Amino acid sequence: MNFVEDLKWRGLIKDISSPALEEKLNKGGLTFYIGTDPTADSLHVGHLSSFLISKRLKEAGHHPILLVGGGTGMIGDPRPTAERAMISKEEVKKNFEGLKAQVERLFGFEVVNNNDWYKDINIIDFLRDYGKYFNVNYMLDKDIIRRRLDTGITYTEFSYMILQALDFKYLHENKGVDLQCAGSDQWGNITAGIDLIRKSTGDEVFGFTMPLVTDSQGHKFGKSEGNALWLDKNKTSAYKLYQFFVNVEDSMVIDYLKIYTFLPKEEIERLEKSNKEQPELREAHKALAKEIITFLHGKEEYDRAINLTEHLFQNKFQDLSKQDIEDLFGNEDIKEIEANKNILDVLVGVGAASSKREAREFVGNNAISINGEKITDMDKVIDETMFIEGSYIVVKRGKKNNYIAKMK
């Protein structure tokens, strides 16, 4: 199976600018780029699939460049629904530094900043040198713009595709970039760049996109309770990330293994069989979570996540020492609460319930346990003796939600 066949098997190719690209991809030696705007100081799970493709390309002998849009980040890539809130220049700068460090560490890509070339282009040159290549009719015809016409789009965001096209041209001319890859929402911007380069230089460059990763309902994949799952372990702990992937739906787990891991076809097919024949072993899920956590955070963090998982899900708290707890929960959010408080106050204090009314509901539903012991009495007082070595309690809500608190 050659490289492109493998990509196709993994379901990683959606749009491809020219069939001629396939042969080039198999051959190796291309310099390509992938871009992201510094909207936050860390990547999240939503970015992961396209960055992993870049990693695959790198391993297939191509040279990756990551463009972090220090300039485009100040403009805002149009979303299908509504205008973006502008990010302050300081924020963009801070985010840029965060992303640069993260990507260099995780992926080892060369990082460039489009602000470095924008700063030398004045407005008249911009309109003369680039604006002339963009007929407004052409721009209006792009799906992303068309979807915004009824709700409105500002001139600022409307201009975004010109900037991204300009990036492609700049990198083509100065870095020898001949290929851009991205998620499918970037297709319009990619083709804008390909067209600009063809019209202005006559050169043929390429682009391809990968499909948006979704769950079985077609919803965008990679959010937990509506919140982003960050690739920075200080923002989303390895344990939380592990839990997210180990809980993925059966019907999707094989697709995700193809997208998010470098496991070979034979191994994934074996896991597929295992999932079908002995689903209760959850082998495929565990492999998925393991591969991702080890790749992002290393073996040690993975081991901690597993260890924590075992203690939390098997209610093994009695044998834990204070030190064990500190080691295990080191990266989790540890709240401080006072002893001798009513269970309802504890639940709210630890974040397990958002109000006492809700706390009552959880206790009434038999959903709460402390250090593995079910609590059914609303008037239960959590005294010092319940804190492990006078320090910690582990509050569990439902099957999967755990909270740790330290005695104040």
Partner RNA sequence: GGGGGGAUACCAGAGCGGUCAAAUGGGGCAGACUGUAAAUCUGUUGGCGCAGCCUUCGGAGGUUCGAAUCCUCCUCCCCCCA
First vs last Cα of the chain: how many Å apart? Answer: 60
Which position among 204, 313, 340, 373 is part of the footprint of RNA (CB under 7 A)?
A: 313
CA distance 237 to 224: 13
Q: How far is the CB of 243 from RNA (least distance, A)?
A: 5
CA distance 322 to 310: 17
9 contacts RNA (rule: CB under 7 A): no
Letters for 16-45 (x = contact with RNA by CB under 7 A, - = none) are: ------------------------------
62 contacts RNA (rule: CB under 7 A): no
CA distance 119 to 117: 5
Look up residue 322 and give its two tokens. 């204070």
* Whether the Cβ atoms of residue 77 and residue 159 lie closer than 8 Å to each other: no
* Interface segment toward RNA; rule CB under 7 A; list 3-11, 172-180, 183-191, 357-365: 357-365
Q: How many CB atoms lie within 10 A of CB 153?
A: 18
Instruction: List, in order, residues 6 or more apart from 43 with CB less than 8 Å away.
Output: 36, 51, 99, 102, 103, 230, 231, 232
246 contacts RNA (rule: CB under 7 A): yes
Q: How far is the CB of 140 from RNA (least distance, A)?
A: 18
| 250-289 binders of RNA (CB under 7 A) | 250-251, 279-280, 282, 285
2 contacts RNA (rule: CB under 7 A): no
Q: What are phi and psi of 238, to 5 degrees?
A: -60, -35
CA distance 161 to 167: 10
Q: How far is the CB of 366 from RNA (least distance, A)?
A: 5
Q: How far is the CB of 213 from RNA (least distance, A)?
A: 16
Letters for 370-399 (x = contact with RNA by CB under 7 A, - = none) are: ---------------------------xxx
Binding site for RNA (CB under 7 A): 150-151, 225, 243, 246-251, 279-280, 282, 285, 309, 313, 348, 354-358, 360-362, 365-367, 397-401
